[in-house]
A = this chain, B = another copy of it.
Amino acid sequence: MSEQKKPNRREFIVDSSAAIVGASAIGGTTSVSGQKRPAGEGASNASPSFTSPAGSTIPFSRDELLAQGKTRAFTLRRLTEIAFPLGGLGTGTVSLGGGGDLRDWEIFNRPNKGKALPFTFVALWTKKGSEAPVVKVVEAPIQPPFRGADGYPRERAQGLPRFKGATFGGTYPIAEIAFEDDTLPLGVTLEAFNPMIPLEVDDSALPVAIFRYRLTNRADAPVEAALAFSILNPIGYDGRANLGGNRFEGFGQNVTRLRREPPVVGLDLTSQKYEADSVRFGSMALVTTHAEVTARTSWEEGAWWDSFQKWFDEYAADGAFDEARDFGPSEDGVSAYATLAPRLRLAANESKAVEFILAWYFPLRENYWNREPEVRGRKLRNDYGTRFKDAWEVARHTAANLVRLERDTRAFRDTLTGGTLPAAVVDAVSSQMSIIRTNTCLLLEGRRFFAFEGTNDDSGCCPMNCTHVWNYEQALAHLYPELERSMRVTDFKVNLRPDGSMAFRTLVPVGRALWKFKPAADGQMGCILKLYREWQISGDEAFLRDLWPSARRALEYAWVQWDADRDGLMEGEQHNTYDIEFYGPNTMMGTLYLGALLAGERMARAVGDTEAAALYRQVFESGRGKLDREVWRDGYYVQRVPDPGQVKVQEVEQKEAWYASAVDKGALKYQYGEGCLSDQLLGQWFAMVVALGHVLPPEHVRETLRSIYRHNFRTSFFDHPNTQRLYALNDEKGLVLCSWPHGQRPALPFVYSDEVWTGIEYQVAAHLIYEGLVMEGLAITRAVRDRYDGERRNPWNEVECGSHYARALASWSLLLGLSGYEYSAPGARLVFNPRLSTANFRCLFTTGSGWGAYSQQIGRDEADGALELMGGSLVLKEFGFAREALGGPPLTALVNRAPVAARLGDAGIVVFDAPVQLKAGDNLEVRLRRRV
Contacts and interface: CB of A to CB of B under 8 A. Distances in A.
Given A76-B18, A718-B161, A723 B146 contact: no
Contacts of A448: none
A349 B3 contact: yes
Interface string A756-799: 00000000000000000000000000000001000111000001
Contacts of A149: 113, 454-457, 461, 799, 802-803
Interface stretch (A238-246, A267-275, A726-734): A726-734
A76 B21 contact: yes
Contact of A28 (B14, B182, B755): B14
Given A141-B730, A144-B791, A149-B803, A724 B159 contact: yes
Nearest to A718: B161
B164 A16 contact: yes
Contact of A751 (B22, B151, B305): B305
Contacts of A718: 141, 161, 164
Contacts of A302: 664, 748
Interface stretch (A247-255, A288-296, A306-314, A490-498): A306-314
A353 to B, nearest CB: 14
Interface string A1-29: 10110110001101110110110011010
A28 B18 CA distance: 12
A80 B218 contact: no
Nearest to A166: B15
Q: Which of A158, A161, A461 has the most CB of B within 10 A?
A: A161
A142 B730 contact: yes
Contact of A75 (B14, B158, B160): B14
Given A3-B187, A146-B792, A149-B456, A719 B161 contact: yes
B729 A1 contact: no
A723 B490 CA distance: 53
Contact of A25 (B16, B21, B147, B801): B21
Contact of A145 (B18, B308, B751, B792): B792
B159 A726 contact: yes
A661 interface: yes
A76 B77 CA distance: 15
A351 interface: yes
Contact of A182 (B7, B25, B151, B316): B7
A152 interface: yes
A145 B7 contact: no
A143 interface: yes
Contacts of A187: 1, 3
A143 B18 contact: yes
A141 B22 CA distance: 14
B14 A152 contact: no
- In the assembly, how many copies of this chain are there? 2
Given A306-B748, A718-B164, A802-B149, A18 B141 contact: yes
A26 B18 contact: yes
A517 interface: no
A316 B723 CA distance: 13
A1 B152 contact: no
A439 to B, nearest CB: 12
A180 B4 CA distance: 12
B456 A726 contact: no
A165 B14 contact: yes
A154 interface: yes
Contacts of A844: none
A610 interface: no
Contacts of A803: 149
A148 interface: yes
A7 B180 contact: yes
A726 B152 contact: yes
A793 B147 contact: yes
A161 to B, nearest CB: 5
Interface in A132-157: 135, 141-154
Contact of A3 (B313, B351, B724): B351
A65 B823 CA distance: 72
Q: Which of A77, A146, A305, A725 has the most CB of B within 10 A?
A: A146
Contact of A303 (B310, B661, B723): B661
B3 A793 contact: no
A720 B754 CA distance: 49
A724 B152 CA distance: 10
Interface of A: 1, 3-4, 6-7, 11-12, 14-16, 18-19, 21-22, 25-26, 28, 30, 75-77, 80-81, 113, 135, 141-154, 158-161, 164-166, 178, 180-183, 187, 216-218, 302-306, 308-310, 312-313, 316, 349, 351, 454-457, 461, 661, 664, 669-670, 718-727, 729-730, 747-748, 751, 754-755, 787, 791-793, 799-803
9 nearest A-B residue pairs (beta carbon): A15-B165, A3-B218, A159-B722, A16-B164, A152-B726, A144-B792, A18-B76, A308-B723, A151-B725
6 contacts: A6-B182, A18-B165, A21-B26, A145-B793, A159-B724, A306-B669
Given A18-B26, A149-B455, A304-B670, 8 more contacts: A14-B28, A22-B25, A113-B149, A150-B800, A159-B754, A306-B664, A306-B748, A313-B747
